[in-house]
Structure 1
Amino acid sequence: MADAPHHSRFRTGRILGIGLGALVLAGVLVVLLWSWDWFVPMVNSRASAALGRPTTVAHLHVRLGRVVTATVDDLTIAQPKGFEDEKQPFATARQASVSFDVWRYIWHRAVTLPLVAFDAPKLDVVRRADGSTNASFGSSKGAGGTPALPDIGELRITDGQARIADARLRADMMLAVHTTPPHDGERGQIVADARGRYAAQPIEGHFVGGALLTLLDTAHPYPVDLTVHNGPTLATLKGSIVNPMKFEGARLFLHFSGPDMSLLYPLTGIPIPRTPEYSVTGTLDYDSKAIRFGDMKGKMGSSDLDGTITVDPHPAVPFVQATLHSHRVDLVDLGGFIGANPDKTPTAAEKKAADADPNALPDTPINIPKLRAINAHLLYRGDHIENRRTPLDNIDADIAIQDGAIDVRRLNFAVGSGTLASVITLTPADTGFATRMRMDFAHIDLSRIMQATTGSGAKGIIGGHATLEATGNSVASLLARGNGGLTLVLDQGGDISALVPDVLGLQIGNAVLSALGFPKRTDVQCFIADMPLRDGVVSTRTLLLETGEGRTLGRGTIDLRRNIIDYALTTRSIHFSVAALPGAFHITGPLKSPSVLPGAEIVGRAAAAAGLGVVMPPLALLPTIQFGVGDTSICARAVRSANENPAAGIAPGTLSHPRGERRPAGRRAAPAPAPAPAAPGNATPGPATKIDPARIRAVWQARMRQGRQGGG
């Protein structure tokens, strides 16, 4: 009986020993046979639910300690629903690791990840034309809208690749991405190189920035160094961004250069008309309200450019405020702002086509880009216009764009001591733009215009107004459908032989001079044109040319719809002249190549050479004359005199003094030419009989030969 307790204790100890051994053996077996891959199905399930798309890992590794490190192999994140036709998964990685500081969590309840690393990650990001994207995830946010991220010590990317495809931006590019290790207390950098297509143009880019995690660092600016070649456009951006997640500001130096500013639209989102080659630098800053490109300096073609551009991106249609300035500007460089091609020289084929085109006015569609993409207000001033073909001295513009409509509140040019001022509105319409325009000419020096455009020595002072209201998409279509008119005054116009051939063209101009019958060096004392435009047809209210030798009155129409002219000019000598052949001659036919022929009155009524003249313009034109050339001008005096003592009107083909009217003292009627021989069977034509067309042409041709022999 004494051995019973001893035996019981032995048996209990044995059982305990076996149990302990079994536990040790089990522990050894667990250690020897344990596989974290047992948790792979759970990891796959949890990750797929969190990311909203199938997610798998091949293996799971965990290294235990104060800092626990979990590593997965062959991570694959599939495309979401609707993107299954993409050839590549949304994301893959040869290996992905996350370190978790357990000790810090136990003591401070803080989630700290000392390392997040991806080895050979690949990403495929797609946005389709309808705006749908495979990169859309649900996300939690902390206060202020900032993503609620844990404290990550280092984000390490090795041999990363990303494909970015965006149908809206017409972009498809590959990015090679890696990070540099932290050093000297810095978190390292991210380096990316891009190659592919952006805005349907080849693109290459190189980016060096601070570690991605420092984007959330409010204490230190985020460094940026970016170079982009997009087609022929080069853009560089270097500096730093202050708290980029909250748009608190930037200190960036921006440089753009390329052959055409319109190509910047995909990079900036701001539509710009076509320009010649340019290079522009400035500082880029932004805050929560606007983006500002300031201290801008550069060149555009042969023009310099400086100023400030501010963009408010918050409205549904971004608003752009631009205040720009040029010390010296070539207007050719601004041609794209009115739909022209600022740097294109016509080819021989294009010149041939232009010569064959029956249209006398440009019918190239006005191409103003993407007006509805922005609302804008532009102030521009060019101090000095540099262009030997342009007689303008400076430019001052105030232009607003709102909902696709252009409001040119001010477009003024200085011409010597004169001004060419315009106000224009263009509202989008089905056939182009509904256009309203008013242009004022005040004290314009004609010699400046003619010297620049034709090289001639014509001179004089121009004043007047032009108005237009029409709908169209080119200069030709606007005028062909337009209503408005032109009232123009030329005072002290100088030598007519220097003016008319250059204005009308050498061939037709010399023919008109010959028909007018004025001596070669006759000065233009006054020219007045008051010509309404109705539905594309220019008619004549007043057309008067007064020289030292005579007065010429114009009557007729210019049809801009059909590009034809039907016009008659009648001249009356102020002084008796045997050589003059007064009467009407006609300019008719296509605008580009009209015919100049005399009427029967030139031959049949040479006696009218002593006429007093034609009816002068109405007194209502005085305000225009006073505005345009001054109230002491010859034209102003002539109009006042004509309205106080109106001259007798002389109809073409009649005597200067109708029967029964007393001829002024000192005036004699010019002798009529000998009558033409009578045609067989016909009576000899009397003073009131018109000469047949063959006789008219014969006299006209003889006169033209005479003019050519005399130096014409």
Structure 2
Amino acid sequence: MATQSIRVRPRWQKLLAAFTLLVVVLVAAFALLVAFFPWDTLREPLNRFVSEKTGRKFEITRQLDVDLGWKAATVTFDGIEFANPDWARDPYLVKAERASFEIRLWPLLDKQVVIPRLALSAPTVGLQMEADGRRTWAFGKDTSDTGTVPTIGLIQVDKGAVDFLAKHLGVDVHADLDYDSTRGELPLHYRIKGRYKGQPLTADGRTGDVLQINAAGAPPFPLEINAAAGQTKLKASGTVAQLAGFDGIDAKFQVKGQTLSALYPLTGVVLPQTPPYALSGGLRKRGKLWEAAGLNGRLGLSDIGGDMSFDQAEKVPRLSGMLRSRVMDMDDLGPLIGLPPTARSANAVEGVAPVASAQPKRPPGGKVLPTTPFDFGRLHAMNADVSYTAERIRNVREVPLDRGSVKIKLTDGVLSLDPLDLGVASGKLVGAVRIDAGKTPTDIRVSMDVRGLKLARLIPKLESSGNSVGQLDGRINLSGAGNSVASWLGGASGDMAVLSGRGQFGNLMPVFATLVGGDILKFLLRGDRDVELRCAALAFDVNKGVMSGRTLVLDTTNAVFTATGQANLATETLDFVIRPEPKSASILSLRTPLVVSGTFGAPKGGVEVGPLAGRGLAALALGAINPLLALAATIETGPGENADCTGVLAVANRPTAGVAARGAAKAKGARQP
């Protein structure tokens, strides 16, 4: 048994040794074949094969070389011309003096082209994509996303040019590239010219020597850019991890332009009309989330700061954040309601050309309500949840706004400003605005409460004279449809009221209003004195743009003023009659109803001719008998009586049933429960 076993082992050892030797010889032969294979002999067959498979001309013009490995191969083309499809504008997808790339072998079995690295020498590249999905860099014959699209990691370019056209995206740009190793970490310089989103685009900057199209795990590469698209200018520097999805951004930026709304076609972010702006901050992008941190800059004459984020991962992109202003200037509010910025605001940002319509002159008597239409259709492009606070509002137009805050929400085309809180004249204006862009024309509802406004602060002359008046309270509840401030107000319905209780003020203003000559003489001889305000109410029913006076009463210790009439918000016309009733006997009174007419842009004031003429004729007749008797025609016996303030305020607080009441109730629905 032992002897027989010793005889078998050498035989198996010989077989194993022979097999091992055969494998080694075959591997060595294959290695020698690969190492010394004349790859260039495959150049013409390869040219024909690629041309047939892609349906366009492919040619390695001088020499082909391959360094074959187990997992990947490094292929070098000395001279390459790869044509574009016949529908493309540029004749070549790529034409270069030299191209070298690494290609993964195993993914080829699954018809996937993975190129971890690509180096091009003096290339011209023509990239184009169409709305139907066709792309010049898709290798399938249909040149769509269903064709073979290579996955490219790193790209190295020494110099060359790239054209990119996508008409449906509004993109048509040309870039010139120049490589210089003496530029340190940013040796590749680029210059871009063309159009982006329908606006002229120019840009230049530098990058690292390797562009990371889609290279996982590679370190970020540095990037600098100085660009201008239309009136929008951008400077940024930082790093980008991947160019394919423009991902992994960490950068500092500065952007300025004529209005933030112009960023919508460039970025897809819906922002309001503003005066010229300049902003800086930090920008990050991770996946579909953009973050702008530490924002700081100006909107016209106002400062602005805060943090914002824009999430594109959801079905409808979402903007969120918190913004604040230490000082907000009222001149910057005009564009929000359709007015151009003032000359002060339009010229407040250095390096931004002022808006052409920044200093329009309204013709005498022209309409004053803003007619500029809002692009409410943009409200469907995204959702939003943004808070804004102004710590102080500069009193520029003699309206004493102190501070303000607003919560802005946009959901499925419905924009709400709720709560909206403004500090006005030591009081508050609080409420909500709701804009539903899902309806045509746009449904707009405004519900605001006026709380504790000091009349002395609303009328600077009273404040400077040291006189004081009781506080004002009131409300605005209006609803209607329109695409501008003017069109909305011209058809709005609801309720408007301003109410005041007791207070006091100098008697100069009511004296002139009532034309009580005797009181004027007493004022001139004795100086000013205080007159008590018993109550005041200005309340309107608004019916499809027509403001009809429901209660128009001002009751003081020396006179009662009652008024009737209306203001038409559509035609911007005024038609009021004010009837003063002095409460004490007075000499030299020419008491007669006052008429307020004209337009919002050119109001007119006067007296009713009939009553005044009657008093004048009586004075002339008596004067013919005795000049002293002429004074009898101007003696006012004081028929005015105290108003029932409780009843006046109660009536003012209730809109008349009907269209006005329904409009007011609808407007109140703008507020959160």
**1:75 aligns to 2:77 (yes or no):** no
Task: Tell me, yes or no, if the aligned pair for 2:371 and 2:487 is still in contact at 8 Å.
Answer: yes
* Aligned with 2:378 (options 370, 374, 383): 370
Q: Deviations over 1:343-376 (max 9, x none)?
A: 457999976553252x353434346683222211
Q: Deviations over 1:476-515 (max 9, x none)?
A: 3222211112211245362364589xxxxxxxxx7x5538
Mapped partners of 1:472, 1:221: distance in 2: 50
* Aligned with 1:436 (options 420, 442, 445): 445
Aligned counterparts, 1:342-381, within 5 A: 342-344=341-343, 353-357=362-366, 359=367, 361-366=369-374, 370-381=378-389
Cα deviation for residue 548 of structure 1 reads: 2.6
The AA in structure 1 aligned to 2:299 is M
**1:117 aligns to 2:119 (yes or no):** yes
Task: Tell me, yes or no, if the aligned pair for 1:99 and 1:116 is still in contact at 8 Å.
Answer: yes
Mapped partners of 1:262, 1:129: distance in 2: 26
The AA in structure 2 aligned to 1:96 is A
Aligned counterparts, 1:192-591, within 5 A: 192-199=190-197, 200-209=199-208, 211-213=210-212, 215-218=214-217, 220-241=219-240, 250-288=249-287, 290-344=289-343, 353-357=362-366, 359=367, 361-366=369-374, 370-389=378-397, 390-428=399-437, 432-451=441-460, 459-460=468-469, 461-491=471-501, 492=503, 494-495=505-506, 497-498=508-509, 512-514=513-515, 519=520, 523=531, 525=533, 526-582=535-591, 584-591=593-600
Task: Tell me, yes or no, if the aligned pair for 2:546 and 2:566 is still in contact at 8 Å.
Answer: yes
Aligned CA distance change for structure 1 residues 449 and 431 (closer, same or farther; 3 Å): farther
Cα deviation for residue 599 of structure 1 reads: 5.9
The AA in structure 2 aligned to 1:271 is V
3-state SS of the aligned residue for 1:317? coil
The AA in structure 1 aligned to 2:379 is L
Mapped partners of 1:606, 1:340: distance in 2: 48
Matched residue, 1:685: none
The AA in structure 2 aligned to 1:202 is L
Cα deviation for residue 194 of structure 1 reads: 1.7
Structure with bigger RCO (C-alpha 8 Å, 6+ apart): 2
Task: Tell me, yes or no, if the aligned pair for 1:573 and 1:580 is still in contact at 8 Å.
Answer: no
* Aligned with 1:596 (options 606, 609, 612): 606
* Aligned with 2:638 (options 604, 610, 622): 610
**1:89 aligns to 2:92 (yes or no):** yes
Aligned CA distance change for structure 1 residues 125 and 63 (closer, same or farther; 3 Å): closer
The AA in structure 2 aligned to 1:444 is L
Aligned residues: 562
The AA in structure 2 aligned to 1:315 is E
Aligned CA distance change for structure 1 residues 489 and 207 (closer, same or farther; 3 Å): same
Cα deviation for residue 553 of structure 1 reads: 1.2
3-state SS of the aligned residue for 1:370? helix
Mapped partners of 1:245, 1:499: distance in 2: 73
Task: Tell me, yes or no, if the aligned pair for 2:516 and 2:586 is still in contact at 8 Å.
Answer: no
Mapped partners of 1:360, 1:542: distance in 2: 25
Moved more, 445-454 or 300-309: 445-454
Cα deviation for residue 406 of structure 1 reads: 1.7
Pairwise CA RMSD: 4.4
Aligned counterparts, 1:645-660, within 5 A: none
Mapped partners of 2:139, 2:589: distance in 1: 92
Aligned CA distance change for structure 1 residues 155 and 555 (closer, same or farther; 3 Å): closer
Task: Tell me, yes or no, if the aligned pair for 1:544 and 1:617 is still in contact at 8 Å.
Answer: no
Aligned CA distance change for structure 1 residues 138 and 616 (closer, same or farther; 3 Å): farther
Aligned CA distance change for structure 1 residues 61 and 220 (closer, same or farther; 3 Å): closer
Mapped partners of 1:456, 1:127: distance in 2: 71
Mapped partners of 2:582, 2:213: distance in 1: 90
Aligned CA distance change for structure 1 residues 218 and 245 (closer, same or farther; 3 Å): farther
Q: Deviations over 1:13-68 (max 9, x none)?
A: xxxxxxxxxxxxxxxxxxxxx99665344212332355454423334333789998
Mapped partners of 1:332, 1:499: distance in 2: 32
The AA in structure 1 aligned to 2:404 is I
Mapped partners of 2:233, 2:413: distance in 1: 29
3-state SS of the aligned residue for 1:58? strand
Cα deviation for residue 475 of structure 1 reads: 2.9
The AA in structure 1 aligned to 2:159 is D
Moved more, 376-385 or 423-432: 423-432
Task: Tell me, yes or no, if the aligned pair for 1:210 and 1:224 is still in contact at 8 Å.
Answer: no
Aligned CA distance change for structure 1 residues 442 and 131 (closer, same or farther; 3 Å): farther
Task: Tell me, yes or no, if the aligned pair for 1:189 and 1:211 is still in contact at 8 Å.
Answer: no
Cα deviation for residue 306 of structure 1 reads: 1.5
Task: Tell me, yes or no, if the aligned pair for 2:39 and 2:66 is still in contact at 8 Å.
Answer: no
**1:159 aligns to 2:179 (yes or no):** no
Cα deviation for residue 319 of structure 1 reads: 0.6
Cα deviation for residue 533 of structure 1 reads: 1.0
3-state SS of the aligned residue for 2:549? coil
- Max radius of gyration: which structure? 1
Mapped partners of 1:558, 1:288: distance in 2: 55
Mapped partners of 1:129, 1:342: distance in 2: 38
Task: Tell me, yes or no, if the aligned pair for 2:179 and 2:187 is still in contact at 8 Å.
Answer: yes
Gaps of 5+ in 2: 1-36, 106-112, 142-148, 345-354, 616-632, 654-673
Mapped partners of 1:312, 1:189: distance in 2: 33
TM-score calculated relative to the size of structure 2: 0.71
Task: Tell me, yes or no, if the aligned pair for 1:443 and 1:463 is still in contact at 8 Å.
Answer: yes
Gaps of 5+ in 1: 1-33, 103-110, 140-146, 501-509, 626-712
Matched residue, 2:649: 621
Aligned-residue sequence identity (percent) comes to 24
Aligned CA distance change for structure 1 residues 100 and 312 (closer, same or farther; 3 Å): closer
Matched residue, 2:659: none
Mapped partners of 1:344, 1:550: distance in 2: 43
Cα deviation for residue 244 of structure 1 reads: 7.6
Aligned CA distance change for structure 1 residues 61 and 566 (closer, same or farther; 3 Å): closer
Mapped partners of 1:380, 1:35: distance in 2: 71
Mapped partners of 1:463, 1:101: distance in 2: 76
Matched residue, 1:126: 128
Task: Tell me, yes or no, if the aligned pair for 1:456 and 1:498 is still in contact at 8 Å.
Answer: no
TM-score calculated relative to the size of structure 1: 0.68
Aligned CA distance change for structure 1 residues 444 and 545 (closer, same or farther; 3 Å): same
Mapped partners of 2:195, 2:66: distance in 1: 43
The AA in structure 2 aligned to 1:125 is L
Aligned CA distance change for structure 1 residues 168 and 435 (closer, same or farther; 3 Å): same
Mapped partners of 1:49, 1:457: distance in 2: 93
3-state SS of the aligned residue for 1:424? strand
Matched residue, 1:5: none
Aligned CA distance change for structure 1 residues 423 and 95 (closer, same or farther; 3 Å): same
